[in-house]
Amino acid sequence: MSSPIYVAIDTPDLAKAQHLAGQVRNHVGGLKLGLEFFCANGHHGVHEMMKFGLPIFLDLKLHDIPNTVAKAVQALHGLEPAVLTVHAAGGRAMLEDAKAAAGAKTKVVAVTVLTSLDNGDLSDIGVHGAAEEQVTRLAELARDAGLDGIVCSGEEVALVKKIWPDGYFVVPGVRPAGGAMGDQKRAVTPREALDRGASMLVIGRPISQAEDPDQAARAIEATL
């Protein structure tokens, strides 16, 4: 079984991204390419990163009117990402259209509540109630819209697994025991996230900013 760890390649610099991928390729299960990388390097950059032979998680968090999102997803067909993100807050029609537009080999997962937000932040944008209530509500919406899964924090994944036993759950903001939290407000360790039902663990700085990224990836893998 391949590793559930996807390393977050959060840099606009293609050479740096390639160097990091080359270092950790044997101890991660895939590469996560986000907005920062995609805005700088586009399709060409993704094609270059595909050369490492690892699945690509294209974390673009698409969020627009249904027709626009569907056309954007179609425009990504040539890349055939293993996993692609859209925002659950875009609503049912947008989620349905995104899934319908995706290639057969691409899992479409919905971002519920960003791991950088806490209950106070949610209140600021008019969402009343705790983060787990909003995550549960959006997970049910994504499930009913036919998506493959959701992105949520390790704090909510066990809750969501109960209502969606066969869902695919991406857990970002995972921090090894003793690791710095960075801008994550709701984080758990890789082992905790996996035990609670995570399908994919997205790990960035604890690997990418380590003195020896390969050793860091191996150490995290060993805890799983």
Contact 88, 64 (CB under 8 A): no
Cβ within 8 Å of residue 126, ≥6 positions away: none
Contact 86, 95 (CB under 8 A): yes
Contact 102, 108 (CB under 8 A): yes
Residue of 16, 32, 61, 161 with catalytic role:
61
Q: How far is CA 97 from the centre of its chain?
A: 20
| Two structure tokens written together for 184 | 């994550």
Query: Catalytic: 61?
Result: yes
Q: Annotated catalytic sites, by residue?
A: 61
